[in-house]
Amino acid sequence: MNALMKTYAARRARLIEQMQAKGGGIAIIPTAPEVMRNRDADYPYRHDSYFYYLSGFTEPEAVIVLVAGKNNQSILFCRDKNLEREIWDGYRYGPEAAREAFGFDAAFPIDALHAEMPKLMADAPALFFALGSDAKLDAQVQQWLNAVRMQSRAGVTAPAAMHDVHVLLDEMRLIKDAEEIAVMKRAAAISVEAHRRAMKICRPGLREYHLEAELLHEFRRQGSQFPAYGSIVATGANACVLHYRASDAEIRDGDLVLIDAGCELDGYASDITRTFPANGRFSGPQKALYEIVLASQAAAIAETAPGKRFTDGHDAAVRVLAQGMLDTGLLDRKKVGTLDEVIAQGAYRQFYMHRTGHWLGMDVHDVGEYREASADSGERPWRKLQPGMVLTVEPGIYVRPAEGVPEQFWNIGIRIEDDALVTATGCDIITSDAPKTVADIEALMRQ
Ligand code: GLY
Ligand code: MN
Ligand code: MN
């Protein structure tokens, strides 16, 4: 077993420890199904994040079973060797080689799952399973449970409790370990390069998909397997559509281009947004709004540190954005009142309608509770940041044409997004090499 495989084995051991603390039982963690795209062509395969977190194993048709009992055991079910299929689809480990390489105690062919599970579940006090994630597996688990219950006259007991195994894993995944941080930094560095490349190549007359192609080229050139999410390349008014995808709009002189794109590397996401002028020079109104968003991001980053609450960054960003909206006349003081009133009544939401960040990890909107667990029934406070958490900081301003909104700002959409790793003393912006001051962007685009 190499060092990385030891990390996966240690994660399984930590999960088993937590299962033991709840009285023991058996956990079932499947990988993702293969999905057909059309007729016999399937979507590129992407493993399940929880499954990968515990195994590093990327083949489809696999299930991890963990036994927390008198003897703890970690078991892998995976595709059997099949020379005929391997000629068409490529190498598969098969149970024996997979057990060895990935450090499991035992491994079986996936076809044996149905026969083995009732045996493994017999006398287990609880089942640790994420019901509702996969209807087919849900139905199988019910069958296995019933098969165990049928043996009651033989003195066998079926699991009497069910725990959502994702709840335990979400907490683990929220705090990134050294291996995860190393991969996330590499993913971030690739995405930084991709953004720089798109900025450098951009000129009026190109289309959005030309910039998307540059992003994809850089991702793949550096070994990233996929984009972490559909790349947004939005020019002009398209930047005000929050979930716009790169399409075929022409990039016009005088417009801004908003790119929200990040690669996935070895199962980990990065998530960067930059907004820059198509022709390399910000106009006056573009610059005015850009500086507000940039200042709001700096305010949010200053609140991204251990002990701060998840929403402190958002609140700080909103304050700067709202003040900027009043100063520029985007919001009319006569109508909306003071800064505090704008914040209390949410008038800023006309131009800033999303949150300032989210957890980032294997999934771009990563798992993990945003509020503290608390026993009483009152509103749970937002969670405090801890070293090892990774989150995005992504304020923006989006101005749709509307009566009373100064026309010079119409159709400007700006977002600036970086990825922050919470450290012992503050945070490390792992995407900071993508230029974001007006001067740095204009200098890069002049090259
Ligand atoms: N790209 C997705 C997000 O920024 O949340
Ligand atoms: Mn993003
Ligand atoms: Mn994001």
CA 57 – CA 437 distance, rounded (Å): 41
Please check whether residue 233 is in contact with residue 208, taking contact to mean a CB–CB distance below 8 angstroms. yes
Catalytic residue among 365, 371, 372, 440: 365
Give the pLDDT of residue 239. 98
Give the pLDDT of residue 410. 98
Q: What is the pLDDT of residues 281-332, one digit of tens each?
A: 999 999 999 999 999 999 999 999 999 999 999 999 999 999 999 999 999 9
Per-residue pLDDT band at 264 (split at 50, 70, 90)? very high
Say if strands 427-429 and 418-422 run parallel, antiparallel, or are unpaired: antiparallel
Q: Which helix (H) or strand (E) holds 162?
A: strand 161-163
Q: Which helix (H) or strand (E) holds 25?
A: strand 25-30
Residues forming a β-bridge with 227 = 263
Give the pLDDT of residue 3. 82
* Tokens found for residue 94: 């098969």
Nearest to 21 by CA among 10, 13, 9: 13
Residues 288, 417 share a domain: yes
Residue 253 has pLDDT above 90, yes or no: yes
Q: What is the pLDDT of residues 318-360, one digit of tens each?
A: 999 999 999 999 999 999 999 999 999 999 999 999 999 999 9
Q: Is 358 known to be catalytic?
A: yes
Per-residue pLDDT band at 441 (split at 50, 70, 90)? very high
Domain that holds residue 124: 3-172
Residue that finishes a domain, picked among 120, 140, 172? 172
Residues 205, 296 share a domain: yes
Q: What is the pLDDT of residues 2-56, one digit of tens each?
A: 888 899 999 999 999 999 999 999 999 999 999 999 999 999 999 999 999 999 9
Residue 376 has pLDDT above 80, yes or no: no
Residues 249, 149 share a domain: no
Mean pLDDT score, 79-84: 97
Q: Is 268 known to be catalytic?
A: no
Mean pLDDT score, 236-250: 96
Residue 413 has pLDDT above 70, yes or no: yes
Residues 6+ apart with CB under 8 A from 357: 300, 310, 313, 314, 391, 392, 393, 394, 420
Mean pLDDT score, 175-195: 98
3-state secondary structure of 6: helix
| The total number of structural domains that make up the chain | 2
Residues 343, 207 share a domain: yes
Ligand 2 mean position, distance from CA 100 (Å): 39
Q: Is 40 known to be catalytic?
A: yes
Residues with Cβ within 6 A of ligand 1? 229, 260, 271, 358, 364, 394, 417
Residues 347, 292 share a domain: yes
What's the mean pLDDT when you consider all of the chain? Answer: 97
* Tokens found for residue 106: 């035992």
- Please classify residue 289 by burial: count the beta carbons closer than 10 Å to its beta carbon, then call 0-12 exposed, 13-18 middle and 19+ buried: buried
Q: What is the pLDDT of residues 419-428, one digit of tens each?
A: 999 999 999 9
Ligand 1 mean position, distance from CA 391 (Å): 11
Per-residue pLDDT band at 444 (split at 50, 70, 90)? very high
Catalytic residue among 243, 376, 379, 407: 243
DSSP 8-class letter at 250 = B
CATH code: domain of residue 303: 3.90.230.10
* Tokens found for residue 38: 């059309």
Residues 285, 428 share a domain: yes
Residues 346, 210 share a domain: yes
Residues 182, 146 share a domain: no
* Tokens found for residue 224: 């990233």
Give the pLDDT of residue 368. 97
Per-residue pLDDT band at 107 (split at 50, 70, 90)? very high
Q: Is 415 known to be catalytic?
A: yes
Q: Is 138 known to be catalytic?
A: no
Ligand 2 mean position, distance from CA 362 (Å): 14
Mean pLDDT score, 104-122: 98
Catalytic residue among 197, 220, 358, 400: 358
Residue that finishes a domain, picked among 172, 193, 226? 172
Nearest to 324 by CA among 299, 356, 361: 299
The neighbourhood of ligand 3, an ion, using CB within 5 A, equals 271, 392
Q: What percent of the chain has pLDDT over 70?
A: 100
Q: What percent of the chain has pLDDT over 90?
A: 97
Residues 337, 219 share a domain: yes
Catalytic residue among 149, 207, 354, 380: 354
What residue owns the CA closest to ligand 1's atom 5? 365
CATH code: domain of residue 139: 3.40.350.10
3-state secondary structure of 311: coil
Q: Residue 54, Cβ neighbours under 10 Å: how many?
A: 25
CA 356 – CA 302 distance, rounded (Å): 13
Ligand 3 mean position, distance from CA 417 (Å): 7
Give the pLDDT of residue 2. 81
Residues 313, 200 share a domain: yes
What residue owns the CA closest to ligand 1's atom 4? 271
Q: Is 123 known to be catalytic?
A: no
Residues 308, 428 share a domain: yes
Q: What is the pLDDT of residues 179-188, one digit of tens each?
A: 999 999 999 9
Residue that finishes a domain, picked among 172, 195, 217? 172
Q: Is 398 known to be catalytic?
A: yes
Residues 106, 32 share a domain: yes
Model-level pTM greater than 0.75? yes
Give the pLDDT of residue 33. 95
Residue 377 has pLDDT above 90, yes or no: no
* Tokens found for residue 388: 């090892």
Atom number in ligand 1 closest to CA 261: 1
Ligand 1 mean position, distance from CA 408 (Å): 27
Give the pLDDT of residue 375. 66
